[in-house]
Chains A and B, each alone.
Chain A
Amino acid sequence: MSVVTKYVLFGIDDNTLQAGARRVEEEFKRELKNAGLDDEIKVVETGSMGIIQKGVVILVEPDDIYYTEVTIDDVKEIVNEHLLKGRPVQRLKFDGKVDKSVVSFRESAQEIKKQNRVVLSNSGVIDPENIEEYIAVNGYEALAKAVTEKKPEDIVEEIKESGLRGRGGAGFPTGLKWSFTAPLDKKPKYLVCNADEGEPGTFKDRLIMEGDPHKLIEGMAIAAYAIGAEKGYIYIRGEYKLSIERTEKAIEDARKYGILGENIFGSGFDFDIEIKIGAGAYVCGEETALLNSLEGGRGNPRVKPPFPGQVGLWDQPTVVNNVETLANVPSIILNGHDWYREMGTEDSKGTKVYTILGHVNNPGLIEVEMGTTLRDIIYKYAGGVKGNFKCALVGGAAGAFIGKEMLDVKMDYDHLGKYKAVLGSGAILVMNQTACIVDMLKNTLAFFKHESCGKCTPCRIGNVHLYNMLDDITKAKGKEEYINNMLTLAESMQQSSLCALGQSAYLVIESATRYFEDEILEHIERKVCPQNVCEMK
């Protein structure tokens, strides 16, 4: 029997697949065989390594060397030089190839290791398609502990104590949500995982499902045990092919191992999961719209109350949680709420996964403690801004602009709330001096206008009017009263819309006008777009 001395990990996600990761991997296996190394060096597919826009990414362990933008032609060199002779290929190393920001990249490589990973602890480390690898890193231990040693009410209490809050955007305390449903006698109850990730710039849930689907399944099983549900659904958007594939396989494997199904771990607890696939509607990320869609109808939101916790899927008590929220659960049960509470700020515990995009040197995915400042996220983890920082759109389209003045605000639910901003889904879109705020605002409103489901009037008509005013401004037909009109209209939409979609326009418009009123006025009064982006005719 041979001993494995090295692992070559391939970060597989949509980005690297597109760069040809699978072809490179095949070539790698071939070359290893040619070199007679295939017994002692193992090629492993894993989830995203958090390095994005850098082509095919591989990691050689235990040497701890990342290679980026690897092509088929490079494979022979890596095998011969690094794996055979022990001399890493300098030109492909993660910290060696970047033209002008070598320093920031080297820091970034170290920062990746410094990240305090809870949700993404296995992503990029284990093979997501192999349940045994998940079990080897204490996988399903939390579930076993929960169902054999603890009562459902203990689990609810533990999650309450941990301070975990919903990661889908609204930040509602998870334990509290469960506590509304757990004591109800009405059966059956359902657990629904919201994986309809549609917020522009957000793909954290996709990478969790691609990188560590078993963690989500374990989190769901624990949640179901806590609330007394025997059936779970994962609602995944139709565009996420790889997520669907990997989660499907993980569910099948879990069934084979007796982790899903009847009498889990001999405890008498039954639970199974079914995947449902969406068909392209942003509003279905709203929990009641999602339930309507699960039932096979139009994805219109419902009037609340009653809340899904009491009257949900097919009018039965239903808890709807986001992917990231559920992926936090196993670690909390395993390590206890005290461990979890050590991370984060007073009101926001634990870590948060961010996707950071736009004009930064190193766009990608990071998981850091709650309360990390925007400055640290941009400059420490994302390699700094290309050009000069102008602002960031935080929380996706349903978020708010954050200006220079707020770079040092702690990023968590309450601190951002004080400044009329939101954490939302955790998307951070960084803009430099070339971005025009009116253009970005118009683009955001075009999105809302298109995605409004049309059920309630403020959202359906309000977004059209907001868009039209912005369109006028970009065509040099803007009027001075528009700024005030937009604010008044958006505020009344915030107060009267049925769901978060219609309520969201206010934050983005309010923040844009607060930081960049002058720039908008340039468009209106002088009929000039300072960034030369808008048509102005």
Chain B
Amino acid sequence: MKKEEILYKYEKRKDNVLYILHEFQDLNPYNYVTDDDMQLIADYIGIPYSKVYGTASFYSMISEKPRGKHIIRLCDSPPCHLMGSIDILDVIKEELKIEVGETTPDMIFTLEKTACLGVCGVAPVMMIDDEVYGNLTPKKVRKILTEYKEGTK
């Protein structure tokens, strides 16, 4: 009953909703929160399901749909765009054969665009899970993706 354990860590206050959502999502092998999760949180805190769903759907770091094992977040805000992030995006799309917002059929990768990650000193930048990769070139991206595919990362 791991989910209950998570719930009991938190006081029954609305400002804990986002934290519980984060923890439930991390627990899920497909990196998302289910309807049942949201209902569970709503019942625990004592607020309507719609409030929990409203919070979950607002933030880009929380997903209500299943996602891949690894989440690729490519930055395309102006500093990265200027340094060629679109070329990097094209390489990722080509390598994984998915569009932004999609997940590979084997459920390994989900491709997302992200707002500025604040590491613009090494633009263009992407984040895979918690790891930041900078100074990207098409060659470097292919190598990184291969490492993830082969499971060495």
Q: Which residues of A approach B to under 8 Å, CB–CB?
A: 14-15, 18, 52-53, 197-203, 206, 237-241, 276-282, 293-299, 355, 357-359, 363-364, 393, 396-397, 427, 429, 431, 435, 439-440, 443-444, 446-447, 450-451, 453
Q: Which of B90-98, B109-117, B144-152 interfaces with chain A?
A: B109-117
Q: A18-B132, A443-B81 are in contact. Are A364 and B121 (CB under 8 A)?
A: yes
CA distance A124 to B120 in the complex (A): 19
- Tell me whether B3 is interfacial, beta carbon within 8 Å: no
Cβ-defined contact, B82 with A358, below 8 A: yes
Give the shortest distance, in Å, between B137 (CB) and chain A (any CB).
14
Which of A281, A429, A451 has the most chain B CB atoms inside 10 A of its CB? A429
What is the distance, in angstroms, from B73's C-beta to the closest C-beta of chain A?
Answer: 9
B14:A357 contact, CB within 8 angstroms: no
User: With an 8 A cutoff between CB atoms, is B29 at the interface?
Assistant: no
Closest 3 CB pairs of A and B: A52-B121, A200-B77, A279-B59
CA distance A396 to B115 in the complex (A): 12
Determine the residue in chain B with the shortest Cβ distance to A51: B121
A-B contact pairs, 28 of them (CB 8 A): A14-B119, A18-B132, A53-B122, A203-B120, A237-B118, A238-B22, A238-B61, A239-B117, A240-B118, A241-B130, A277-B18, A279-B22, A279-B61, A281-B59, A282-B115, A296-B13, A296-B16, A299-B59, A355-B121, A357-B123, A393-B78, A429-B78, A431-B82, A435-B82, A439-B81, A443-B78, A450-B113, A451-B115
Measured in the bound complex, the distance between the Cα atoms of B16 and A276 in whole Å is 10
Interface membership of chain B positions 2-37, coded 1 if the CB is closer than 8 angstroms to chain A and 0 otherwise = 000000000001111111011000000000000000
A141 CB to closest chain B CB (Å) equals 31
Contact B77 A357 (CB under 8 A): no
- Beta-carbon nearest neighbor of A447 in chain B: B77
- In the bound assembly, the distance between CA atoms of A239 and B112 in angstroms comes to 14
Give Cα distance in the complex from A202 to B77, angstroms. Answer: 11
Query: Mask for B43-70, Cβ within 8 A of A = 1, else 0?
Result: 0000000010011001111100000000
Apart from A202-B118, A279-B22, A393-B78, what 16 extra A-B contacts exist at CB < 8 Å?
A: A15-B122, A15-B134, A53-B121, A198-B116, A201-B77, A201-B79, A201-B116, A238-B22, A239-B127, A277-B19, A280-B60, A296-B13, A296-B16, A364-B121, A447-B115, A453-B58
Residues on the A chain within 8 Å of B122, using CB: 15, 18, 52-53
Query: A18-B122, A296-B55, A297-B55 in contact; A358/B117 too (CB < 8 A)?
Result: no
Cα–Cα, bound, A446→B86 (Å): 13
A294 touches B115 (CB 8 A): no
Task: Please give the distance in Å from A77's CB to the nearest CB on chain B.
Answer: 24
Hey, which chain B residues are within 8 Å of A203, CB to CB?
A: 118-121
Q: B76 contacts A199, CB within 8 Å?
A: no
CB distance from A198 to the nearest CB of B (A): 6
Q: A14 to chain B: which residues have CB within 8 Å?
A: 118-119, 132
B108 on the A face (CB < 8 A): no
Once the chains bind, are B15 and A202 in contact (CB under 8 Å)? no
Residues of B within 8 A of A443 (CB): 76-78, 81
- On chain B, the residues within 8 Å of A397 by CB distance are 77-78
- B127 contacts which chain A residues (CB < 8 A)? 239
User: Which residues of the partner chain B approach A200 to less than 8 Å between Cβ atoms?
Assistant: 77-79, 115-116, 120
- Chain A residue numbers with a CB within 8 Å of B121 are 15, 52-53, 203, 355, 357, 363-364
Are B133 and A18 interface neighbours, CB within 8 A?
yes
Nearest CB of chain B from residue A27's CB, rounded to whole Å: 21
- B118-A294 in contact (CB<8A): no
Chain A residues with Cβ below 8 Å from B120 are 200-201, 203, 355, 357, 363
- Measured between alpha carbons, how far is A364 from B122 in the docked complex, in Å? 10
Most buried by A among B62, B115, B117, B134: B115
| B82 vs chain A, min Cβ distance (A) | 5
**Of B14, B61, B83, B134, which is within 8 A of A280 by CB?**
B61
Closest Cβ of chain A: how far from B100's Cβ, in Å?
11
Chain A residues near B134 (CB-CB < 8 A): 15, 18
**Partner among B16, B18, B54 whose Cβ is within 8 Å of the Cβ of A279:** B18
